[in-house]
Structure 1
Amino acid sequence: MEMFWFNNGEVQTMSTLSNRLDFEAFIGYSFTAQLSMRNILNFGEMPKLYYPFIADAAITDQGRMDMTYSLASDSSYFAYSQFDRAFIKYTEGNLEISVGRQRINWGINMVWTPNDIFNSFNYLDFDYAERAGSDAALIQYYTGPASSIQFAYKLDHLNRATYALMYKFNTLNYDFQIMSGKLDRDLVIGGGWSGQIGSAGFLGEFTYFHSPKDHISDFHSLVASVSLNYTFKNNVFTQTSILYNSAGTNENAGRGNFMASNRPVSAKDYTLAKWALFGQISFPLSPLISADFSGIFNPGDNSSYLGPSFNFSVAENFDLMFVGQFFMGSNGSEYGDYGTMLFTRLRWSF
């Protein structure tokens, strides 16, 4: 993948070579083991300009077990390997228990997922579709065809614990979930739903966060996201979503330069703004070419993001993608300090 970053009249580049390996083993009738790793080499002007910070940030493992390993590093390149899946799952009837590095996906929406307190993801990181995993234990018991009870416990690289209990059920043709637990110091309670209004998908989720009074401050916030999506008969897919953060600001909500756009995210602060709006449309241009346009708008500081992409199937198991990430706004606004990023990516799946 090749990246071009345009900012303040300058152009900087970074090249990335990466591969992903997935392994799965079935042990007897009840046990499954999964191991997945990424191997990444970054080189070019940006590693040189931001060395060693950019390399140190890449090899900082967010899990309790350090499973990210630096392979080589110098002032203009860095290479590393990361295991983002390494777990064993036991299945017996309606019971499933998995232990190790795994992805615990409790989110419902496609962009902002306040219920996803274990594995929140950054929507702008389009090149990591598998998303990061957590060092955790997950117990699931299926109480019916569309209902289950789940308990998850996670430790991060600072030995901070996150744990919660979730109940999922179906009624009135809607899937519902309710959850309660703790995220580091915050007590959390939340829920969500997934269903349809006519032919349109209707999804939503919310989480309330409350810090204890003996913490630095008696902090509490509500983060909620609601979305609608619809697929037309000609395979045109549309989606819109809104995010509310009660602790957010209606003023400038900037975090800094492009480094902040790749930071680890939390379900508490997908944005520092009080409101965020998202829209997307994707459609096939031909049997081998597809297009996607998405955008985010912060009505508080009037900054915005526009992300067009085009994907070409050049051969069997080969695809070529062109992606643009255009950030617009005043200095200090949420998207005003990121500049413009253009990407080309050639991928082979085997």
Structure 2
Amino acid sequence: MKWLSVFFCLCFISPLLGQDSTTTTKNWSITGYIKALQNIQFDPINHSNNSNQLIHNRLRFKWRPKENLQFSLELRNRVFTGNSLHLIPNYASRLRNTSENLNLQVAWINEPDVIFHTNVERFYVDWKEKKWTFRLGRQRINWGINTLWNPNDLFNTYNFLDVDYEERPGSDAIKTQYAISDFSHVEMVYSRSFDRKDIFALKYFINQWNYDFQFIAGSYRGLGTWGLGWAGNIKDAGFKGEAQYFSDGQINISSGLDYMFPKGWYLNAGFLYNSEGLNESVLVWPQVNLNFSAKNLMPAKYNFLFMFSKEISPLLSVSMSTVYSPRLNLFIAIPSIRYSLSSQIDLDIIVQNFFLNNTHIGDMGMLRGRWSF
């Protein structure tokens, strides 16, 4: 019965807090959402199914005592139930974000059938003074430019298979930015993760010839690293790309084109090269490393992306994403449907299909409802 009490609190108390705060004072704000995710995993090789449920709540608190000063706090509350709690040992211990240094998480309930977990996802202070901006604390540092694969994103690698984590993980970091002009700035970031492996990097951003360029240099977990990113247009198509080199000889390069057609059609095609990725087929699925990091954006050396989406109506949209790694012979297809029940309530159906060496190795179907407040 404990988890029922938790669910009640997340569903009813959180939005009430948000409504009270936003109406009483202008320098305070509380927003967030509640999501319910049901997923079923199909294993056609072992002829087994796995069903899990997740209640996901996020609360965002912001306080601006002065025009140039802001404090931010975001909590991620999750209730897990389902078969995976029995199949994966020490499930709760695996929920911590590896990019964080301080342990600001707690498992309020950690039982064989239910886990209630809270993590402080954002906790930082912003201060602005003329051309300077300072941010200290747990924050999202987004240096990525490309749509899916971001070699320049040294601090918070995006896992495109994690469909329920659009905010992406945060880092315990110090960030300083100096605005050289309206079209250029310099940004410096230092962060430390729980394993005490530091990341320090400097980024120079400039707009030239109607293109955005960024140049990166720094140290990534003991390795020197240098990077380049760009974003612009080739006629009416968007053209983006990133490259990142590490002193151990590894290089990641990604590039992509995207185009918005009349009548709501959107297309995106991309490419990723990982010099240390697999360049041949493997015998079993566990040899494919999907633990993504700045050095492992995909397990294969060559990877291609094709994605399209279509707005059927203002309330209904569909999309299809496919990823193919030819030498590894890995194929992933992700179709999805989104329907907006109201301005605050969305319903998503998402399917992930996995194929290796022309063998169907698994599927995951997800049904998600979201209520924003």
Q: What is the rounded CA distance, in whole Å, between the counterparts of 1:44 and 1:308 in structure 2?
A: 24
> Is 2:60 the partner of 1:31?
no
Q: What is the rounded CA distance, in whole Å, between the counterparts of 2:146 and 2:284 in structure 1?
A: 24
| SS at 1:136 equivalent | strand
> Is 2:163 the partner of 1:126?
yes
Q: What is the rounded CA distance, in whole Å, between the counterparts of 2:283 and 2:78 in structure 1?
A: 29
Contact kept, 8 Å, 2:97 with 2:169, in 1: the verdict is no
1:245 maps to which of 258, 274, 278: 274
| SS at 1:286 equivalent | coil
The C-alpha deviation readout for 1:87-142, integer Å capped at 9, x for no partner, is 00110111100000001101101210000001111011111111111000000011
Equivalent residue number for residue 307 of structure 1: 334
Equivalent residue number for residue 5 of structure 1: 41
Structure 2 counterparts to residues 1-350 of structure 1, below 5 A: 1-7=37-43, 8-52=46-90, 54-59=91-96, 62-210=99-247, 219-252=248-281, 256=285, 261=290, 263=291, 265-330=292-357, 339-350=362-373
Deviation at 1:258, TM superposition (A): 12
* Cα distance change on mapping 1:161 and 1:337 into 2, 3 Å: farther
Unaligned stretches of 5+ residues in structure 1: 211-218
Contact kept, 8 Å, 2:134 with 2:175, in 1: the verdict is yes
Contact kept, 8 Å, 2:99 with 2:169, in 1: the verdict is no
* Cα distance change on mapping 1:163 and 1:253 into 2, 3 Å: farther
* Cα distance change on mapping 1:48 and 1:121 into 2, 3 Å: same
| SS at 2:141 equivalent | coil
Identity of aligned residues (%): 32
Contact kept, 8 Å, 2:99 with 2:192, in 1: the verdict is no
How many equivalent residue pairs?
A: 335
Partner AA of 1:294 in structure 2: S
Q: What's the RMSD between the two structures over aligned residues?
A: 1.9
Deviation at 1:76, TM superposition (A): 2.1
Q: What is the rounded CA distance, in whole Å, between the counterparts of 2:371 and 2:139 in structure 1?
A: 24
Contact kept, 8 Å, 2:257 with 2:270, in 1: the verdict is yes
Contact kept, 8 Å, 1:194 with 1:204, in 2: the verdict is yes
Deviation at 1:312, TM superposition (A): 0.7
Partner AA of 1:344 in structure 2: L
| SS at 2:341 equivalent | strand
* Cα distance change on mapping 1:254 and 1:146 into 2, 3 Å: farther
Q: What is the rounded CA distance, in whole Å, between the counterparts of 2:118 and 2:351 in structure 1?
A: 27
| SS at 2:277 equivalent | coil
* Cα distance change on mapping 1:9 and 1:82 into 2, 3 Å: same
Q: What is the rounded CA distance, in whole Å, between the counterparts of 2:41 and 2:314 in structure 1?
A: 31
Q: What is the rounded CA distance, in whole Å, between the counterparts of 1:75 and 1:129 in structure 2?
A: 28
Partner AA of 1:2 in structure 2: Q
Q: What is the rounded CA distance, in whole Å, between the counterparts of 1:254 and 1:152 in structure 2?
A: 41
* Cα distance change on mapping 1:80 and 1:338 into 2, 3 Å: farther
* Cα distance change on mapping 1:41 and 1:342 into 2, 3 Å: same
Q: What is the rounded CA distance, in whole Å, between the counterparts of 2:203 and 2:99 in structure 1?
A: 24
**In terms of mean alpha carbon deviation, does 244-253 or 161-170 score higher?**
244-253
Q: What is the rounded CA distance, in whole Å, between the counterparts of 1:341 and 1:325 in structure 2?
A: 5
Q: What is the rounded CA distance, in whole Å, between the counterparts of 1:256 and 1:41 in structure 2?
A: 29
Q: What is the rounded CA distance, in whole Å, between the counterparts of 1:249 and 1:48 in structure 2?
A: 32
Contact kept, 8 Å, 1:61 with 1:68, in 2: the verdict is no
Q: What is the rounded CA distance, in whole Å, between the counterparts of 1:228 and 1:86 in structure 2?
A: 35
Normalised TM-score (structure 2): 0.86
Partner AA of 1:200 in structure 2: A
Partner AA of 1:288 in structure 2: L
The C-alpha deviation readout for 1:303-325, integer Å capped at 9, x for no partner, is 10000000011123111100000
Deviation at 1:49, TM superposition (A): 2.0
Unaligned stretches of 5+ residues in structure 2: 1-36
Contact kept, 8 Å, 1:248 with 1:271, in 2: the verdict is yes
* Cα distance change on mapping 1:94 and 1:327 into 2, 3 Å: same
Q: What is the rounded CA distance, in whole Å, between the counterparts of 1:90 and 1:112 in structure 2?
A: 31
Deviation at 1:243, TM superposition (A): 0.2
> By percentage of residues, which structure has more helix?
2
| SS at 1:234 equivalent | helix
The C-alpha deviation readout for 1:170-192, integer Å capped at 9, x for no partner, is 11110100010000011000111
* Cα distance change on mapping 1:43 and 1:246 into 2, 3 Å: same
